[in-house]
Amino acid sequence: MQLITCPWCGPREETEFRYGGQADLAYPADPSALDDEQWARFLFFRDNPKGTFAERWCHDAGCRRWLRAVRDTRTYVFAETGPYGSFPRRSARPERSA
């Protein structure tokens, strides 16, 4: 069982965390502008690299905050963790609808 460093709580047991999949896949600014294939890629396709991978984790049984982590999928070793949103994201956030 690994230790994962929560940016707010420090190193904590892996079982306190929930995995949230690949990071930096922002919700498209305007989903209606995407064709079916583009939308399907957002919905269903995820990277699966052998090596460094940016991931989302949630400190579920702790502070309940989401964090962003960079982990090596070969060794499981976490290179870094930080607050979610503290790293640049690939595409823009959706416009506020009100």
Q: What is the closest distance, in whole angstroms, from the C-beta atom of residue 58 to Zn ion in the complex?
A: 9
85 binds other proteins (CB under 8 A): yes
Under the criterion CB under 8 A, does residue 98 sit at the interface with other proteins?
A: yes
Structure tokens at 77: 């070793």
Helix (H) or strand (E) holding 19: strand 18-22
Site for Zn ion contains 69 (CB under 5 A): no
In the window 8-67, what residues touch other proteins (CB under 8 A)? 14, 18, 20, 26-27, 30-32, 34, 36, 39-40, 42-43, 56, 58, 60, 64-66
> Taking a C-beta distance cutoff of 8 angstroms, is the pair 16, 60 a contact?
yes
Reduced to 3 states (helix: H, G, I; strand: E, B; else coil), residue 42 is helix
Q: How far apart are CA 41 and CA 2, in angstroms?
A: 31
Residue from 20, 25, 62, 72 binding Zn ion (CB under 5 A): 62
Q: With contacts defined by CB under 5 A, name the span among 26-34, 61-69, 72-80, 89-97 that binds Zn ion.
A: 61-69
Angstrom distances, CA of residue 50 to CA of 15, 45, 57, 59, 91: 23, 16, 19, 25, 24
Residues of the shown chain interacting with Zn ion in the complex, contacts defined by CB under 5 A: 6, 8-9, 59, 62-63
